[in-house]
Amino acid sequence: MRSLIPLKSIYAFVAVAETGSMTNASEVLNVSHSAVSQAIKSLENQLGQPLFKRIGRRVELNSQGKRYYRKVAPALEQIVDASEALQKPIHSNRVTLNMNNSLAVHWWIPRMLSFQQTAPNLDVRVSNLVGPFNLDNEGVDVALIHDLKDEWQDYYCEKLGDDEIIMVCNPDLVSSKATVESLLNSYPAIYASNLRRKNDWNYWCQAHQLPIPKQRNNLSFVVSVHAVQAAISKLGIFVTHRQFVKDDIRLGLLVEVGEPVKHPSQSFYFVCQSGKLRLESVLTLRSWLRKEFA
């Protein structure tokens, strides 16, 4: 029978190799300094050769130790990953989903009942972080991204749908003979002035070969939610993203005017750590999002 190396010795070896210190390794493993020292000594005796060299108060791998580490460390990581995959995760029915505030208000909340009917045991917590961020550091399981894919290359990133820019206004402003040009001449333009939305009018007007309307006093809003409400209140005409006003159009609060324009540089994406795809809760959420955006 082959001589087996105790797994605790491998844990100790990798911890010392990566921290460069018996003391630091003992803190990582939550055992005593002497336990780490004995595990390393036992491993070296069983292998018949030293694995470390001392440099002052630190220890470093010698040439044999480096070769051993290159083989052992990946194998130990596979053991840890396999063990975690079989363990029932804490709060396995809870998912933290990040999206921008406009999507949360105008898209997610109107669909919560539908989602609850699809996955009644899943508890989704919504956060509203903006811009690229580290999912793990922020405690986010899944991000619904309305942005550039390039900024999320370190994660699993799946396109859900294109981003369409449309012109909308209150139905009372549109007569049977109204055209895009006549509406622009008759009513002021409502603007969302934040960095992510300030070019929406430019994109839409360029695609329709129309002049960009001037901004008026009191009709420029930092938050898209406020601009949408201004359009519903008959204050003017607004160019925005279809997903933000999809339900307002369905309910008759707004009407779409003219042809939609595909956003030239951003779409909607499902983003998460690849390891999260082992969780049934994340897979359930992804499946539902796919259907909604389809």
Show the tokens assigned to 244. Answer: 């933000």
Residues 122, 93: contact at Cβ < 8 Å?
yes
Q: How far is CA 171 from CA 71, 189, 231, in A?
A: 68, 15, 10
- 8-65 pLDDT, tens per residue? 899 999 999 999 998 888 888 888 989 999 999 999 999 999 999 988 778 899 999 9
Residues 140, 96: contact at Cβ < 8 Å?
yes
Q: Which of 292, 274, 243, 294 is nearest to 118 (CA)?
A: 292
Show the tokens assigned to 208. Answer: 């329709």
Q: Which domains does the chain have, with CATH numbers?
A: 7-86 (1.10.10.10), 94-162+267-293 (3.40.190.10), 163-264 (3.40.190.10)
- 127-155 pLDDT, tens per residue? 988 878 888 888 899 999 887 777 788 88
At residue 294, does pLDDT exceed 60? yes
Note the helical H segments in 48-190.
Answer: 63-86, 101-103, 109-118, 180-186
Rounded Cα distance, 32 and 19, in Å: 15
H or E, element range at 238? strand 237-241
pTM above 0.85, yes or no: no
At residue 1, does pLDDT exceed 80? no
- 262-279 pLDDT, tens per residue? 988 888 999 999 888 888
- 98-110 pLDDT, tens per residue? 998 888 888 899 8
Rounded Cα distance, 286 and 122, in Å: 12
Rounded Cα distance, 132 and 138, in Å: 11
Residues 292, 111: contact at Cβ < 8 Å?
yes
Residues 213, 189: contact at Cβ < 8 Å?
yes
Rounded Cα distance, 248 and 254, in Å: 6
What percentage of residues in the chain have a pLDDT greater than 90?
Answer: 45
